[in-house]
């Protein structure tokens, strides 16, 4: 307390003291001493404190104001544009083993190293102390969080993305049950991006419910409450019997004013945000959900209250709601896109002509500029993003802040798959859905993580980057979750990326609106299906009617037959890949998993014996 009194002015000290929480005081004191900031600002939920942080992001030049009121732009280092999987790890003690698929690091030596990196790292800088709440306030889902960061950009972003938590802490009083995050961007280059990328670390310490993040700015590595808290929450849910998933939450409008809530898991850059923002439906969240069983139903909340969305490809036709939000006077942060001398932002896929020059994450940019390797640098980074509060959106669902969450009717899994899955298919059961849809999810890699793009990668539940527990245990938790439920949510697989023989996408971006209307009716048993070896697919007449109703499009029988063909060789190859993956890398894979995959294989073999490799739905 003496140390805090010496470093903090009276007002800031009072704000901490008023929480009446010794664990908070201790944690802040420890890192104030160790990181040695010149100044500490404690942020409550007051408008004044929040404005302070927002202004500091401009003053410290971590953000720059653009022409439209409230809009700012931030840049991460050219080599700090995605989640850094190589330097991110879950800390484990000697003898602990989470399996090959989870990046782990030795706890003792990693903590020693990160403490070295953090020593005096904030000298001359201002430390922001912030309190947030994951999930709605005053709810069984709420998890209070304490964030320490020397980046005003990070503190500002979290303000747009999360619910305020100072009052939540106050209500709870003297408890140590909260998540803790320590972030420092470290020394900065003249352009205000990180200098010491070699000391980039993102360490998840489950034992102390603490995450350390150093020498990086990119949101996926630094926003404590996003993917960092997600690891802590998965571990907490594992002990307490609930789930944390990499899922959107949305309301889908059905006939007679009905609304059915959907969850959807998609690897990064596979259409998750655009699904959550689908025309005609309502958004609860676009990235992370907590799921609990309450009174015999599955209920879910959006862990967040804002959106850190991919901006590439956002245009007025396909994404009218986001487009409008990005063109209105309101608080929002762009990152890693281009601005011109007129302070107007541009990105790949925006309506209209792209400018010939401007300024972005690689510095001054003119068309044709090349990077070190001689590759042309595009106008914006493919993983460039926008950060805004969901409150701004016209299609915001009224249940975003409902402490009881929403009742889940359906769960959807989808990846970037050019040749195997049909556009939409219902799983045969909860277990079949968990194993053969979610647990078998693969995706061609994207720019959301550093490294090669376009490689097919296994990504069960789209959660593989974020698991702090063994994969088999995680799959088993998902299987067990439906135990005791009379009517568990229906599970579906979708594929927005199916291509024809010449490499063209079979479906337009808006076609998914039809798939969701169809799934909504399935949840209520209002349409019939055809059974394939891998699930249940729509009947042509139902889709034809929905295409007309939703998109005013004539959906031809030929399109239907091509899109919904059972591609048996591809399906079998996929089963082989998935089985091999679990056999090799997941020693604790549940026996059910192999049983269900083998059963599916047998059904595919039988159908192939009757009808050959590619079976159109009219043969089923």
Name the site residues for Mn ion (rule: CB under 5 A).
287
**From CA 523, how far away is CA 513, in angstroms rounded?**
16
Instruction: Write down how long the chain is.
Output: 620
436 catalytic, yes or no? no
Scored b (16 or more CB within 10 A) or e, 188-218 reads beeebbbebbebbbbbbbbeebbbbbbbbbb
In whole angstroms, how close is the CB of 95 to Mn ion at the nearest point? 32
**Contact criterion met (CB below 8 Å) for 163 and 128:** no
Would you say 186 or 267 has its CB closer to Mn ion? 267
The span of 55-63, 67-75, 141-149, 218-226 binding ligand SPV (CB under 6 A) equals 218-226
Q: Residue 1 and residue 25: Cα distance in Å, rounded?
A: 7
The piece of 134-142, 220-228, 508-516, 528-536 that touches ligand SPV (CB under 6 A) is 220-228
The residues near 588 (Cβ < 8 Å, ≥ 6 apart) are 99, 470, 471, 472, 473, 476
Among 220, 382, 433, 488, binds ligand SPV (CB under 6 A): 220
Which residue in 35, 194, 270, 436 is the catalytic one?
270
Q: Choose between 140 and 450: whose C-beta lies nearer to ligand SPV.
A: 450
Kindly tell me which of 219 and 409 has the beta carbon lying closer to ligand SPV. Answer: 219
- Kindly tell me which of 231 and 521 has the beta carbon lying closer to Mn ion: 231
Contacts with ligand SPV by CB under 6 A: the residue count is 9
Name the pairing type of β-strands 442-444 and 289-294.
unpaired
- Candidates 620, 410, 420, 432; CA nearest to 535 is 432
Q: Which of residues 139-178 bind ligand SPV (CB under 6 A)?
A: none
User: Considering the complex, what minimum distance in angstroms separates the CB of residue 287 from ligand SPV?
Assistant: 5
227 belongs to the binding site for ligand SPV (CB under 6 A): yes
CA–CA distance, 328 with 309 (Å, rounded to integer): 17
- Given 135, 219, 264, 470, the residue binding ligand SPV (CB under 6 A): 219
DSSP for 141-194, please give it. Answer: T-EEEEEEES-HHHHHHHHHHSEE-HHHHHHH-S---SEEEEEE--SB-TTSSB
Q: How far is the CB of 303 from Mn ion (least distance, A)?
A: 11
Partners of 515 in the β-ladder: none
Is residue 205 at the binding interface for ligand SPV, with CB under 6 A as the rule?
no
C-alpha 122 chain-centroid distance? 29
| Smallest distance from Mn ion to CB 447, Å | 13
285 binds, among Mn ion, ligand SPV, none (CB under 5 to 8 A by kind): none
- C-alpha to C-alpha distance for 608 and 567, rounded to whole angstroms: 10
Q: Contact with ligand SPV (CB under 6 A): which of 268, 380, 440, 571?
A: 268
Q: Which two tokens stand for residue 336?
A: 């890693």
Q: CB-wise, 228 or 427, nearer to ligand SPV? A: 228
Alpha-carbon distance values, 150 to 73, 118, 183, 293, 427 (Å): 18, 11, 7, 38, 47
Please tell me whether residue 287 binds ligand SPV under the rule CB under 6 A: yes
* In the complex, minimum distance from the CB of residue 192 to ligand SPV, in angstroms, rounded to a whole number: 20
53 binds, among Mn ion, ligand SPV, none (CB under 5 to 8 A by kind): none
Q: Per DSSP, what are the bridge partners of residue 188?
A: 194
Q: Cβ-closest residue to ligand SPV? A: 220
Dist. CA 575–CA 579, nearest whole Å: 6
The reply on whether position 448 binds ligand SPV by CB under 6 A is yes
Report if residue 308 touches ligand SPV, rule: CB under 6 A. yes
* Interface pattern 78-107 for ligand SPV (x via CB under 6 A): -----x------------------------
Supply the minimum distance, in Å, between the C-beta of residue 355 and Mn ion: 30
Q: Which residues bind ligand SPV (CB under 6 A)?
A: 83, 219-220, 226-227, 268, 287, 308, 448
Would you name the residues annotated as active-site residues?
Answer: 270
């Amino acid at each position: 307390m003496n140390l805090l009194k010496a470093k903090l002015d009276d007002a800031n000290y009072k704000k901490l003291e008023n929480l009446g929480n010794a664990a908070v005081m201790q944690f802040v004191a420890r890192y104030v001493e160790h990181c040695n900031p010149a100044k500490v600002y404690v942020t409550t939920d007051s408008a004044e404190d929040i404005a302070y942080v927002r202004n500091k992001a401009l003053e410290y030049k971590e953000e720059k104001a653009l022409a439209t009121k409230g809009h700012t732009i931030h840049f991460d280092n050219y080599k700090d544009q995605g989640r850094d999987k190589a330097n991110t790890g879950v800390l484990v003690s000697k003898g602990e083993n989470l399996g090959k698929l989870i990046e782990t690091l030795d706890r003792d030596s990693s903590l020693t190293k990160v403490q070295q990196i953090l020593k005096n790292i904030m000298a001359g800088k201002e430390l922001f102390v912030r309190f947030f709440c994951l999930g709605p306030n005053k709810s069984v889902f709420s998890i209070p969080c304490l964030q320490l960061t020397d980046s005003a950009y990070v503190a500002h972003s979290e303000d747009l993305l999360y619910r305020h938590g100072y009052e939540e802490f106050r209500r709870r009083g003297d408890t140590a049950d909260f998540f803790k995050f320590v972030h420092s961007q470290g020394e900065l280059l003249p352009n205000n991006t990180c200098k010491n990328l070699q000391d980039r670390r993102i360490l998840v310490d489950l034992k102390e419910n603490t995450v350390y993040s150093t020498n990086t700015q990119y949101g996926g590595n630094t926003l404590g409450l996003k993917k960092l808290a997600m690891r802590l929450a998965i571990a907490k849910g594992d002990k307490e019997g609930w789930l944390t998933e990499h899922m959107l939450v949305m309301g889908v409008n059905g006939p007679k004013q009905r609304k059915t809530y959907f969850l959807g898991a998609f690897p990064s850059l596979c259409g998750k945000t655009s699904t959550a923002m689908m025309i005609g439906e309502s958004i609860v969240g676009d990235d992370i959900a907590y799921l609990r069983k309450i009174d015999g139903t599955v209920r879910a909340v959006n862990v967040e209250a804002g959106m850190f969305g991919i901006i590439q490809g956002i245009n007025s036709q396909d994404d009218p709601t986001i487009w409008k939000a990005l063109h209105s006077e309101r608080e929002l942060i762009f990152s890693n896109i281009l601005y011109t001398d007129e302070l107007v932002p541009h990105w790949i896929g925006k309506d209209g002509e792209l400018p010939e020059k401007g300024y972005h994450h690689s510095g001054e940019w003119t068309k044709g500029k090349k990077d070190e390797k001689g590759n042309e640098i595009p106008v914006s980074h493919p993983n460039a993003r926008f950060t805004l509060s969901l409150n701004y959106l016209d299609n915001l669902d009224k249940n975003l802040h409902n402490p009881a969450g929403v009742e889940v009717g359906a769960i959807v899994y989808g990846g970037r798959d050019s040749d195997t899955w049909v556009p939409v298919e219902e799983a045969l059961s909860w277990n079949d859905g968990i194993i053969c849809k979610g647990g078998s999810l693969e995706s061609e890699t994207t720019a959301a993580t550093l490294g090669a793009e376009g490689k097919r990668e296994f990504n069960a539940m789209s959660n593989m980057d974020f698991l702090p527990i063994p994969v088999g245990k995680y799959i088993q938790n998902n299987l067990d979750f439906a135990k005791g439920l009379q009517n568990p949510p229906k599970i579906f697989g979708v594929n927005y990326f199916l291509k024809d023989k010449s490499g063209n996408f079979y479906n337009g971006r808006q076609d998914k609106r039809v798939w969701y209307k169809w799934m909504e009716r399935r949840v209520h048993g209002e349409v019939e299906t055809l059974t394939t070896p891998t699930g249940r697919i729509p009947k042509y007449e139902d889709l034809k009617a929905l295409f007309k109703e939703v998109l005013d499009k004539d959906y031809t029988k030929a399109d239907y037959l091509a899109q919904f063909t059972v591609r048996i060789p591809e399906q079998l190859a996929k089963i082989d890949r998935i089985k091999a993956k679990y056999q090799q890398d997941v020693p604790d894979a549940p026996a059910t998993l192999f049983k269900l995959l083998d059963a599916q294989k047998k059904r595919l073999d039988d159908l192939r014996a009757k009808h050959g490799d590619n079976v159109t739905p009219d043969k089923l």
